[in-house]
Structure 1
């Protein structure tokens, strides 16, 4: 098995352990909502970028069985949604705008730096017409949309009601 597949397996295990360790029990429902909301964003966006030929994922964790879906299952459907869970659950909502901006830049920067590292030193990601700043911008936009949907979900949910 290649280094890239071992990396994906290891990173998946780390993400699963971090979910169990750092998502409080009373926030499990919120974590699922965040996870699914982000997948709703990343699936069409990932398909679009791959179909346009801007980015490629040559090595996948799961075998490539569908010629119509060449996005990265690991990145689009698991790693980034896990990052979004932690982003929204630990968001500094009552801080000033500078702290919030730093939070956005830090989380989006982390994910972008990870992707750039993987693009340069592995065969997991290959930029064609894509650059690191497009990754950064799309990560920020995705996090804004996802967190907005989460706030909307929380606003409508009243604990203790049967609806």
Structure 2
């Protein structure tokens, strides 16, 4: 029998796929692929120690024989939401970037906390919903800083020397 947790993961995967297909503006393909890869790496590097330090536990997860962390969230859900966040903040100033980081983080925390209470997808050990909230804000802002740096670097190094 399929568990509630796997049904939730399938539903969130489908929602994520719909976001990728219908919400993301793929004219900025290069930027979004960079964000996906950066976020996947950042979350995997940051999430693994959190699990190793026993701050969070993922009783139901993909590939449990190989990973203690939730690769489903760290390599699929959060990176896609981060692409969406970066798209929304693409033309916004500093306060808009921070405000949307707070909004996206609040929405994600509002989903995660009931999942922690009522499912085996995540269990807080030495962690709280507030820790989730502010670490999400930090990682959204890190991804926004990284893509700004990436765009600057592309513009700076793409300049061709003028022919004399």
TM-score strictly above 0.5: yes
Partners of 1:26 and 1:125 in 2: CA distance = 35
1:110 matches 2:107:
yes
SS in 2 for 1:13: helix
Instruction: Quote how far apart the aligned CAs of 1:20 are.
Output: 1.1
Instruction: Quote how far apart the aligned CAs of 1:22 are.
Output: 1.2
Normalised to the residue count of structure 1, the TM-score between the two structures is 0.88
Query: What is the correspondence of 1:1-163 to structure 2 with a 5 Å cutoff?
Result: 1-60=2-61, 62-66=62-66, 69-91=67-89, 93-95=91-93, 97=95, 99-158=96-155
**Does the CA contact (< 8 Å) of 1:93 and 1:100 recur in 2?**
no
Partners of 2:31 and 2:97 in 1: CA distance = 20
Give the length in aligned residue pairs: 157
The CA RMSD measured in Å over matched residues stands at 1.9
Partners of 2:68 and 2:159 in 1: CA distance = 41
Structure showing greater relative contact order (alpha-carbon pairs closer than 8 Å, 6 or more residues apart): 1
* Bigger shift: residues 143-152 or 101-110: 101-110
